[in-house]
Amino acid sequence: MLLGMALLLRLPVAGSIRVGLAAIWLLSSIWEIGRISRGARRIKIIRLTAGEAMIVNRQGRQEAVEIMSGSVVLPGFAWLRLKCPDGLIHAELLRGDPVSCQHWRHLQVLWRTRAGCFGRATEADTISTPKRGSHF
């Protein structure tokens, strides 16, 4: 947030335009932080299967979510962009160890082999990942 603000304030344009752009940047950053906070308060567990993604909310109810473009799964980290049924878009950073955690390896395999076909799942392909402290 601060880096973007610093870059905007150094643009070679009139001062009033820079201040206006910086104000827009600040407001959009505050809005984004609020959205991340709402998503973090809402999600207790992220559950991924071969064909779908679900969250378990704080009340223990499951909700189907859409994994959006921009999601990335790497050997030690995953950045998942989730869209809830009510339209809330939330991003979640997860950490895992592919060597010592079977669930993390399963996530890696699911992502590589079926990332484009969420919608068909079997019970054998289900993994549950705790969200808070999301270290596997």
Q: What is the pLDDT of residues 12-52, one digit of tens each?
A: 888 888 888 888 988 998 988 888 888 788 888 888 776 67
Q: Taking 80 as the threshold, does the pLDDT of residue 64 lie above it?
A: yes
What distance in Å separates the CA atoms of residue 75 and residue 83, rounded to the nearest whole number? 23
Q: Where are the domains of the chain?
A: 1-136
Q: Is the pLDDT of residue 120 over 70?
A: no
User: Two tokens at 59?
Assistant: 């009340």
Cα separation values, 124 from 18, 116, 127, Å: 55, 19, 9
Q: How confident is the model at residue 27, as a pLDDT?
A: 92
**Tokens at 51, concatenated:** 């064909």
Q: How far is CA 50 from the centre of its chain?
A: 18
> What would the mean pLDDT of 71-75 be, rounded to a whole number?
85
- pTM, entire model: 0.63
Give the integer Cα–Cα distance in Å for 39 and 17. Answer: 33
Q: Which residues contact 33 (CB under 8 A, 6 or more apart)?
A: none
Question: Does pLDDT of 97 surpass 80?
Answer: yes
Tokens of 16: 């009033």
